[in-house]
Chains A and B, each alone.
Chain A
């Protein structure tokens, strides 16, 4: 912490001993800006997929469907039995049998709006909404088998799990991309610092000969690269946040792409990227400088 505070305070005499290096300066600023830009998108992707996994998991976990395929004369009795079982089942917030119009609407995308539902052997559907605790699906299945043999419970777990798993993996991919971006930034800043240090070997040798300690010499380079990386990352982050903010707003359908972005306090997270970039530059340059200085007597 102390070296970082010292770095922020600066040492004008130490700063001046290092000659200006146009190319490496521009390279560092550009690298940091580009990496920060990508990092913000990777962060947005990661947060969006985390939200998506949460939403899918929660929304699907709170709903279930019971399908009643029974002969016409038993259908009403079994529907009534199912509703009774559900009323008695802890964890069920509400349950209702779908009307003919609702069932027709569900089938309309496949069969058109004029489907004569009443003449077809279409199962009766019962929509079940869970409360926060959830219900015991296995227990309900056992009771249904005994009291309404034509009823089948579908708690959506068959297709909920792969969706949630896919969203979780996307989230991991986003975090992985973020980690790779950070490591790449560290590598590129180390390379740029290494190039600057190699070009200034004579400067370092003169400073050693007049009695400068390694920390004094390293500080001059470290401060320069840290500030450049911080500045570049700040520009990249600002541009990227602007780009994310300009993406289409999340609509009611909540599709994945329109949901890419930050929400609420999530907008503060990208602001951590410039200080993180500066910190990476600090340690990367310090490492490169100390390594280079070891070769100078």
Chain B
């Protein structure tokens, strides 16, 4: 569904990712690890075309990224649910509207999806917080809300940047279970995380591939995980 081929990217002339290949096929489950600053977030941004590679090709859902106009990129992002590390909410809108934002942005009436939104809120344990504004939420609540927003359009690909960074272990397991469940529905999942315990836990539930980003290169992590 999303394929990176020979992709390189750097900031201010300093290469961060070099000649990288990655394919997120339907039903695949990947963890992306690596030290801070290794380029995990950058790699995710390349996957949903927030960044354009300096070199190499990216194709999404069978189309080369270079051929996608701005509307094409918008369409692509409706099929890719992203959980950002900093969540990125609109602080003036209540949680319910933030979660429904992808629906509104894609022209779908929120009322028609009221049941889906309620179910998602309930699943991530925020059913009593629908009217709260993002600044009123705790870190964990924000993370769960970000996941709910990423899933509202039932995307084909889920990219999550440290989704369990601000939640307790119990909630981490709940989030992982949801992502595993979505993966079993055929969705591709890529999670960037430092949390090796989470990776170990996931490997007992799903056939996950663990990729390590180091010195701009991507390799498959070994048995140490």
Binding site for B on A (CB under 8 A): 13-14, 16-17, 19-20, 202-203, 205-214, 216, 293, 297
Contact = CB atoms under 8 A, between A and B. Distances in A.
Contacts of A205: 88
Contacts of B77: 208-211
Given A19-B90, A211-B74, A297-B50, 6 more contacts: A20-B92, A205-B88, A206-B89, A209-B48, A214-B71, A297-B52
B116 to A, nearest CB: 15
Interface in B83-117: 84, 88-93, 97, 101-102, 104-107, 110
A297 B92 CA distance: 23
Interface of B: 48-52, 70-71, 73-78, 82, 84, 88-93, 97, 101-102, 104-107, 110, 149, 153
A213 B50 contact: no
B105 A207 contact: yes
A56 B110 CA distance: 66
22 contacts: A14-B104, A16-B93, A17-B93, A17-B101, A17-B104, A20-B92, A206-B89, A207-B105, A209-B84, A209-B88, A210-B77, A210-B101, A211-B74, A211-B102, A211-B106, A212-B105, A214-B74, A293-B70, A297-B49, A297-B50, A297-B51, A297-B52
A209 to B, nearest CB: 6
A206 B71 contact: no
A213 B74 contact: yes
B104 A13 contact: yes
Contacts of A297: 49-52, 73
> Mostly helix, strand, loop or mixed at chain A's interface?
helix
B110 A17 contact: no
Contacts of B51: 297
B70 A213 contact: yes
A20 B78 CA distance: 26
A210 B70 contact: no
Nearest to A200: B90
Most buried by B among A17, A208, A211, A212: A211
Contacts of A208: 74, 77
Contacts of A293: 70
B97 A206 contact: no
A17 B49 contact: no
Nearest to B152: A210
Contacts of B153: 211
A17 B97 CA distance: 9
Contacts of A17: 90, 93, 101, 104
Given A214-B70, A216-B105, A297-B52, A209 B90 contact: no
Those 7 A-B pairs whose CB atoms lie nearest each other, nearest first? A212-B105, A211-B78, A13-B104, A19-B92, A211-B77, A210-B102, A213-B74
